A and B are shown apart, each in its own frame.
Chain A
Amino acid sequence: MTDSPFVEVEGLHYSRGETSIFRGVDMAIPRGRITAIMGPSGTGKTTLLKLIGGQLTPDAGRVRIAGEDVHALSRKALFRLRRRMGMLFQSGALFSDLDVYENVAFPLRVHTDLPESMIRDLVLLKLQAVGLRGARQLMPAELSGGMARRVALARAIALDPELILYDEPFVGQDPISMGVLVQLIRRLNDALGLTAVVVSHDIKETLSIADYVYVIADGQVMARGAPADLDVDRDPRVRQFVHGEPDGPVPFHYPARDFYADLLGAGGPK
């Protein structure tokens, strides 16, 4: 990791209403690698991706992509920057009124003036890469969850982005599509040299493909390092998360008053 990072996050603060979500997050996402951002549910991992993509504005701090301060850009410049990024949404977020082919062709049609024959070639290449060339005529409603996510992946790489953001790519997938996705993410990275950010809490799969890992919790970066380093991290919070222990510094119970008093406390709130 000698070259400059592609995405830099500095002193990021963000809160939603009264709830503080990030309290000073710093990150450096290296170019051409797969960086995983992990953490328990509800720590704001998806929010972090939205902050990086410029859909949300932080209360304080900066996000720079390829040297450009995302939140200081005009709406137009921000949309220009986004053409260099792809994002894979948890739900796939395919356009429900377009078929698979048109979904993948969408970014090409709006951002390039390529002739139809070349668009066709590119779309088929991308669909071939995710193994769904034969499904090009299907509508999004006819796809399974795993297929929808693979089509979304083909769409996300249609313009050959430099950065791709994966939002929980493994959630709700059966073991086969999970394996396919893991392989695809790794292969795309190796073949195209993309910079990838994977947000996930599927430890095994994520650690198997990540080059570098950040663990966030309580609004801060709790640990960082190569996957092997995390496995032997001594911090009890990191240990609990990485090894999936049900109770520990992150409590099993939602904060409540004493159980005994609660059971006997007739007349209290339900």
Chain B
Amino acid sequence: MIDHIVRLGRWGCETLERLGDAGIFLAQSMFGVPSAEGVRLWLRQMHFVGVMSLAIVLVSGLFIGMVLALQGYTILVDFGAEDALGQMVALSLLRELAPVVAALLFAGRAGSALTAEIGLMKATEQLTSMEMIGVDPLRRVVAPRLWAGFVALPLLTIGFGVVGVWGGQLVGVQWLGVFEGSYWGNMQASVDFVADVGNGLLKSLVFALVVTWIAVYQGYALVPTSEGISRATTRTVVYASLAVLGLDFVLTAVMFGGLS
């Protein structure tokens, strides 16, 4: 019995220590005066984590918009309310699906790659040799990746939402025959820019920070062996997905649940 309590206590202490460690890591790498070289490195990472994730995010957005319209239509048509399809698709996408699904896809596509890349740099002593050359890897390797993720995910989320709304129109209007004017008109009347678009983007910013932070920290702190890299990559996807879904509930409760 005592043993279990001791183990629980130790686990608690270790978790707290790791969280503190990750917090210091975030503070040390995120804040600093950017140099011209830093901007160049950041742009390069924007290409890797942002541009390279475009395809998967946009294609997923298209399909999710299409499925939403299809599912929504079959339910709404029973009540003769298929004119509300536009607002249903837009609100589901902007408030929930775009930020959440884009973040989950981002964790799988870019997050795991970030962890593996930084982990491999650690395993091959590249980070250590950078330190010995007198260059801080937190500033040189971690910071550009963190900032790239932080900026790229909200942009990807916008892309996801736009393509999703268009996909919904494709199915609802072009295929199922919902009147085009009511699809767009109802959407325009019911979507509030600050409450819906703004809150969705805010969610996405939070997810961007959390997912990228988890990814780079897992890479930086992993055990530098092949097993360590594989475990850390898995952990990135698992932790990031859980964090996104958990935080989404909290944020939704505050933003839309009348808690504020």
Contact = CB atoms under 8 A, between A and B. Distances in A.
Interface of A: 50, 53, 55, 75, 79-80, 82-83, 85-87, 89-91, 93-96, 106-107, 109-111, 152, 155, 165
Q: Which of B125, B129, B132, B134 has the most CB of A within 10 A?
A: B132
Given A79-B134, A79-B136, 12 more contacts: A82-B131, A86-B132, A90-B125, A91-B124, A94-B126, A106-B133, A109-B37, A110-B133, A110-B135, A110-B140, A155-B133, A165-B132
A87 B134 contact: no
Contact of B125 (A75, A83, A85, A93): A93
Contacts of A50: 128
B125 A89 contact: yes
Top 10 A-B residue pairs of the complex, sorted by shortest distance between their CB atoms: A93-B129, A93-B125, A83-B134, A82-B134, A87-B132, A79-B134, A107-B133, A89-B125, A110-B135, A93-B126
Given A91-B124, A93-B124, A55 B129 contact: no
A236 to B, nearest CB: 36
Interface of B: 37, 120-121, 124-126, 128-136, 140
Contact of B128 (A55, A86, A96): A55
Given A75-B136, A79-B136, A55 B125 contact: no
Contacts, number: 56
A111 B37 CA distance: 12
A155 B136 CA distance: 17
Contacts of B129: 87, 89, 93-95, 152
Contact of A79 (B37, B125, B135): B135
Contacts of A165: 132
A75 B131 CA distance: 11
Contacts of A90: 125
B125 A82 contact: no
Nearest to B130: A95
A116 B217 CA distance: 35
B134 A111 contact: yes
Contacts of B131: 53, 55, 79, 82
Nearest to A155: B133
Contacts of A89: 125, 128-129
A167 to B, nearest CB: 9
15 contacts: A55-B131, A79-B135, A79-B136, A82-B131, A83-B133, A83-B134, A87-B129, A89-B125, A93-B124, A95-B129, A96-B126, A106-B133, A107-B133, A107-B134, A110-B140
Nearest to B123: A91
A53 B130 CA distance: 12
Nearest to A79: B134
B215 to A, nearest CB: 18
A50 B133 CA distance: 13
Nearest to A86: B132
A89 B136 CA distance: 17
Nearest to A111: B134
A80 B136 CA distance: 11
B124 A96 contact: yes
Nearest to B133: A107
Nearest to A85: B132
Contact of B132 (A53, A75, A80): A53
B193 to A, nearest CB: 42
Contacts of B128: 50, 55, 89, 93
Q: Which of B37, B121, B130, B135 has the most CB of A within 10 A?
A: B135
Contacts of B130: 95
Nearest to A53: B132
B39 to A, nearest CB: 15
